[in-house]
A and B are shown apart, each in its own frame.
Chain A
Amino acid sequence: PGWSPRVVPARGRKSRHDPPAKSKAGRLKLPPPVDPEELLVVLDRYRQHRLVLGALRAEFRAEVLQKKREEHLGGEDSAELLEEHRRLMAWNDEENARQRERREERLRKEAEEEKRRKLEVAEKQARKMEAFMKEKEKEVLQLQEEAKSFITPENLDARIEECLDNPRNYNFAIDKDGRVVKRTVLS
């Protein structure tokens, strides 16, 4: 095959266009002698050998191809794999369900918390309103009480007489604590 380093061209010095030498003028080139029986035997043996080798090669090629195909498809027991897969998916669904429960629990707690807070706020508001109302009530009552001692056109004269009859002395000194210190006599 080709000109590998082992196979050297037999032409040597001359190229194909040079005429052959004079010494080769009467040369008769004959093929090598062949023994017919030996030839038959040898051919048959070669045929068998090549047959066996071809079969072996085909066998190995098929085996390699089959292995490759097996590896591609996933190998092993398909049923087993499916079973395993389904089991894992079931476990995953359970996990999701658990997560959902946890989430619902959390949401419920939060809702409760919200409600409680709202309730508290409402209560506080109500209490504030109540206190306010009470304050206002007290003021109204106090005013009513004071109204009893108001000066009206009817008792105007009587009250004037009363004030003139009882003079009040405001001439007194006070210290920082509010106690009366000195009183001067009214002139």
Chain B
Amino acid sequence: MPMKGRFPVRRTLRYLSQGDVVFKSAVKVMTVNYNTAGELSEGARKFVFFNIPQIQYKNPWVQIMLFRNMTPSPFLRFYLDNGEQVLVDVEDKTNKEITEHIKKILGKSKEMLEKEERERKKLSHPATFGPKKYHLRECMCEIEGQVPCPAFVPLPKEMRGKYKAAMKNEA
């Protein structure tokens, strides 16, 4: 499969999952106004090129709109679900600064993310066995160090019910 685009690394799952901006549930729409030329818009351009895929991956339910060459200076605008609009001026800022800024004002804090992670883990018990969809393992034979599955390696005679029954009958 050929690599597509100028920086195909932006399309890899590893790169996308490295994005650390997870918006609060109140943020619904993010709008970016920037210019395709000019030194002051450089940070915004880099932000749109490199960081927006990461943000969209982490927030699939947030609508992101890009507007080019409509205003003289670049800015971001967030629309929250209570009607509030948050304006962020990004003129003369690098893309890293922009991501830090929006993580601070509208991103979920690390504690919150960890708490949610813990809640998610609580729902399922890792020690149970069952279908792969809901559990980690289906049978004890999948675990290293345990008796292997008799479908692949036949059990020794002493463990088979047939042999045990025959012994009992004999005695």
Contacts and interface: CB of A to CB of B under 8 A. Distances in A.
Contacts of B93: 99
Nearest to B87: A96
Interface in A128-179: none
Interface string A65-76: 000000000100
Given A95-B101, A103-B73, A89 B86 contact: yes
Interface of B: 25, 73, 86-89, 91-93, 101, 104-106
Interface of A: 74, 88-89, 91-92, 95-96, 99-100, 102-103, 106
17 contacts: A89-B86, A89-B105, A91-B104, A91-B105, A92-B87, A92-B88, A92-B101, A92-B105, A95-B88, A95-B89, A96-B87, A99-B92, A99-B93, A102-B92, A103-B91, A103-B92, A106-B92
A106 B91 CA distance: 12
A79 B152 CA distance: 61
A100 B92 CA distance: 11
B71 to A, nearest CB: 13
A116 B105 CA distance: 41
A74 B73 CA distance: 36
B164 to A, nearest CB: 24
Contacts of A91: 104-105
A99 B91 contact: yes
A92 B73 contact: no
Contacts of B86: 89, 92
